[in-house]
Amino acid sequence: MRKFTILISLSFLFCTLALAKKYPLTAASIVPAATGRAEIGNDKNGNSKVKITVEHLAKPENLTPPKNSYVVWFQETGGSQEPEGQLKVNKSLKAEFETTTPWKNFQILITAEDDPTAKTPSGAEVLRTTVSQ
């Protein structure tokens, strides 16, 4: 019975991931080696599940000028940019970020900031994509 439960759970997870739409992130010239994507799925409440995966992203302190952190912003069509959290780069220059939002059509913007709790983007844009479901 336990094996059957695990198999069903794995099948459900695979189906959920297979249904996720993938959006490539466009890198700015200050991080030319960076590559990434946003995977957008749906949770049981109909919200958009967002998973951002980035590779080859320079640590913010290595930028010119140096910054303190990367901040993820969502902007609904016609709305203002809302901070979602920090994108933390590991020593392998990879980063992941996950969250949910009720929005279906929005932009994802990642900026390099001096203040990780910034209320509006003030630093250089490093990655961007547009989500349309």
Phi-psi region of 79 (alpha: psi -120 to 50; beta: other; left: phi over 0): beta
Let me know: does 130 contact 107? Beta carbons within 8 Å: yes
- Domain-wise residue ranges, the chain: 21-132
CATH class of the region 21-132: mainly beta
Which two tokens mark 72? 């993820």
| pTM for this predicted structure | 0.85
Instruction: List 74's β-bridge partners, or say none.
Output: 82, 108
pLDDT score of 77:
87
pLDDT digits (tens, 9 = 90+) for 27-77: 999 999 999 999 999 999 999 999 999 999 999 999 999 999 999 999 998
Instruction: List 71's β-bridge partners, or say none.
Output: 86, 111
% of the chain residues with pLDDT over 90: 82
pLDDT digits (tens, 9 = 90+) for 75-90: 998 899 999 999 999 9
Q: What average pLDDT is seen over the chain?
A: 90
